[in-house]
């Protein structure tokens, strides 16, 4: 009987710990540094790929398809002729940062743009999956293509 009570207690304790974890994103970032402000993701936002991405548009297309299929939100993908940060856009930047590892990424959600940095396509895919996962549940239920999705400004880093 005592074993059963201990097992139930441990099970209950584990369940409440998981339920309180509001960051159930996979993979879980190593750091999230909150900053002031809100970035609004909406249908006039474009995904801008810098010229360094040769195959990055595959990950961008998957992200756009997920948004369109699950929320109804359609984003355009634009290939930039030069490196830079474009306003009202999700900017994809290929970098060379050994600290991120092979599949890591850094996302800077700011006003007026989001900057996604990764060493390769795997990191870019992981970053865009994270951006998809942080969209509030309400927008999946509403499926409004004209939705304006607020994302809290922050810097997110995931290292592999």
The CATH number of residue 133's host domain is 3.30.379.10
Query: 104 lies in a domain?
Result: yes
Query: 63 lies in a domain?
Result: yes
Instruction: Give the whole-angstrom CA distance, residue 41 versus residue 95.
Output: 24
Eight-state DSSP code of residue 98: G
Q: Residue 36 — φ and ψ, nearest 5°?
A: -75, 145
| Residue 16 pLDDT class (50, 70, 90 cuts) | very low
Tally the domains of the chain: 1
Helical pair 121-133 and 57-70, crossing angle rounded to 10 deg: 20
Query: 110 lies in a domain?
Result: yes
Query: 116 lies in a domain?
Result: yes
Q: Residue 27 — φ and ψ, nearest 5°?
A: -75, 150
- Calculate mean pLDDT across residues 142-147: 88
> pLDDT tens digit string along 31-59?
999 999 999 999 999 999 888 776 677 88
Query: 11 lies in a domain?
Result: no
Query: 23 lies in a domain?
Result: no
Q: Residue 78 — φ and ψ, nearest 5°?
A: -125, 135
Q: Domain span at residue 124?
A: 30-158
């Amino acid at each position: 009987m005592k074993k059963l009570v201990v097992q139930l207690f441990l099970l209950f304790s584990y369940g409440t710990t998981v339920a309180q974890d509001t960051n159930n994103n996979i993979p879980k970032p190593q750091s999230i540094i909150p900053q002031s402000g809100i970035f609004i993701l909406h249908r006039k936002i474009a995904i801008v790929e810098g010229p360094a991405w040769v195959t990055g548009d595959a990950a961008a297309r998957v992200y756009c398809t997920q948004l369109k299929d699950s929320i109804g939100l359609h984003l355009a993908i634009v290939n930039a002729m030069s490196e830079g940060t474009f306003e009202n856009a999700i900017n994809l930047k290929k970098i060379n940062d050994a600290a991120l590892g092979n599949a890591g990424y850094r996302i800077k959600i700011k006003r007026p743009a989001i900057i996604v940095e990764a060493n390769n396509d795997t990191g870019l895919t992981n970053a865009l999956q994270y951006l998809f996962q942080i969209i509030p549940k309400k927008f999946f239920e509403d499926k409004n293509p004209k939705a304006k999705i607020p994302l809290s400004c922050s810097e997110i880093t995931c290292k592999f």
